[in-house]
Amino acid sequence: MKAGFNPDQILFTGTGKTQSELKLAAEVGVHAIVVEDLRELQVLAGLPWRTAVALRVNLGLETKTHPYLTTSAVGTKFGLDLDGVTAALEQVRRAPRLSLIGLHTHLGSQLSQPTAYLSAVENLAKLAGELATLGFPLRFLDVGGGFALGFPFARLAEGLRGKVPVGLEIYVEPGRYVVAEAGCLITRVLSVKEVHGQRFAIVDAGMNDFLRPALYGAHHPLLAFPCREGEAMECTVASPVCESSDVFGTYLLPPPEAGDILVFMNTGAYGFSMASTYNSRPRPAEVLVWHDRPFLMRERETLEDLVRGEVVPDCLN
């Protein structure tokens, strides 16, 4: 809403919504609140506003991605299984101010092929048909996001032909796909060394600045400046945080030297939003480049920023 979107353009999703969040979403009238569990329905049923809801369905589908990035497989915490859907329908039926208008699922992230999405649509369409016979006509099916860069949307669209029941819209959530290429992380080489025959370039950015490589094993394209002459060499780009996982990966680089600039590409999604001050490291500045002009968007944090909110009890003074 702060970005200028009307509430009726918003689907409110997410595991573990608080009562105050649910109340705000219902009060402003979002397009639909995507319900994760029965407790959310109980909260919404007790509010004084008419509220549209959708049910997030955990389809139990396995996807080819990192284990931490799968969100609709057996054993994951997300959404409702079919027994949960049945219980949710009974709650909606008893709540006159709630209307069920859609089904939602999210399969995971970094999915490069349409196969899993087509299976999800088939499952949701079948369930939507069953709900219609029970008196719950729906408006949409939402297959979530998680599209890897280069995802073949034309093949997905072709595969959906004939699979979507008449009268139902298909929603997708291509957030990461839209913004990933809009950001990069710029870091400087502090030193170059060899340890047990392995070459390391130690840089001034760490996992607190950009968590994806340490958390998911993500490998981002890398540019090096200056691009000096010489045979490219294998080099592990490592960081200052005291964790063995705090490496950005192994790359073929022009012979690196202290002071070089390295640029990790495609960090516009899950980049700064996952940054932290772990190891007492202030977060970096953010700069927008607009038509070749730089604009400071967020100031670099300082050590003073890290302690500004701390309060020492009188008994310890």
Catalytic residues: 242
Cβ partners under 8 Å of residue 161, min gap 6: none
Question: For residue 154, what are its two tokens?
Answer: 């034309």
As a whole number of angstroms, the distance between CA 210 and CA 221 comes to 14
């996001």: which residue's tokens?
A: 145
Cβ partners under 8 Å of residue 104, min gap 6: 11, 13, 34, 54, 55, 56, 57, 79, 141, 142, 144, 171
Let me know how long the chain is.
317
What are the angstrom distances between the C-alpha of 232 and each of 112, 114, 200, 253, 255?
Answer: 30, 36, 14, 5, 6
As a whole number of angstroms, the distance between CA 182 and CA 194 comes to 34
Cβ partners under 8 Å of residue 83, min gap 6: none
As a whole number of angstroms, the distance between CA 111 and CA 116 comes to 8
